[in-house]
Amino acid sequence: MNKTALVIMAAGLGSRFGNGIKQLEHVGPDGEILMDYSIYDALSAGFDKIIIIIRRDIEDEFKKMIGDRIAKKADVTYVYQDIDDLPEGFSKPEGRTKPWGTCHAVLAARDVIDCPFCVINADDFYGRGAFAVMHDALVAETPVNEYFLAGYILGNTLSENGTVTRGICLSNHKQYLIGVHESYKLKRCTEGRNMVDGFNRQGSPIKVNVNATVSMNMWGLKPEFIDKLKHGFDIFLADKDADPLTKEFLLPIYIDKLVKEGEVKVKILDVNEKWFGLTYAEDKPEVVERIKEMTESGKYPAKLWG
């Protein structure tokens, strides 16, 4: 069977979470963090190795909390997202402090990705079912230019403590992605539970059905995608129209571009799991309670890594 890797993007601090590093918040009964549960679920689903993308300044904390616990259970590799890691001929603009985005994060792992891989955020709980369907898709015989996206139900991904940003997925009758519309400040509509209020990229108000399919940035990709990323990053950096101090090279936007240009196909995998995460500091008590309930029901052991 084909090897598969889980690539975890953990380099961001998360400005909405306050001053702490939200990826390192303890939420499990034995001090586990959300990433522990993603790794546990991925290994249970059959993934072979774990690649964690971090910044060097939090390397010691990450290795102390993650590496020591799972080193005996999985093949773990760390790579580092560095703002100065740019292609030949480009340099960081003076005054730039913002990371280059999620595409750049994946590029940080370019030298260690040698098999089909799943990309996720570090601070989201995706659910075991999502990893199972993603793993099955990645090991199946499919065209080299066919990728996968875990499609969640919008209503299962909202926060009770504030608004969220989601990519609303449009698909054809065969469940292949035809577009991703980034939508912002999404929250349940006060006039009815079947609709969600928000704004589109142009800042205009929109209403979205609560059952719409959305992306939670869980992508199934193949090693050949790295070459596309390198090419795309060159074009992104050379673009003089966007603000060089704030522009970001983002996975949903770039993959959406490739889909519309006919370079790749992306199959949406239906996921019925209920997402939760640490978008806001106020989310933590609910996250802790949900993990506790799943532990008490036997879905997870009280000590995840024994």
Q: Is 208:155 a contact under the CB 8 Å cutoff? A: no
pTM of the model: 0.92
Question: Per-residue confidence of the chain (306 residues) as pLDDT tens digits?
Answer: 589 999 999 887 444 545 566 667 889 999 898 999 999 999 999 999 999 998 888 888 777 777 667 777 888 999 999 999 999 999 999 999 988 999 999 999 999 999 999 999 988 999 999 999 999 999 999 999 999 999 999 999 998 888 999 989 999 988 999 998 889 999 988 776 789 999 998 999 999 999 999 999 999 999 999 999 999 999 999 999 999 999 999 998 999 999 999 999 999 999 999 998 887 888 899 999 999 999 999 999 999 987
Strands (E), the chain: 5-9, 49-54, 75-80, 117-121, 124-125, 146-153, 164-171, 177-188, 195-199, 205-209, 213-221, 265-270, 276-277
The domains of the chain, with CATH numbers, are 5-296 (3.90.550.10)
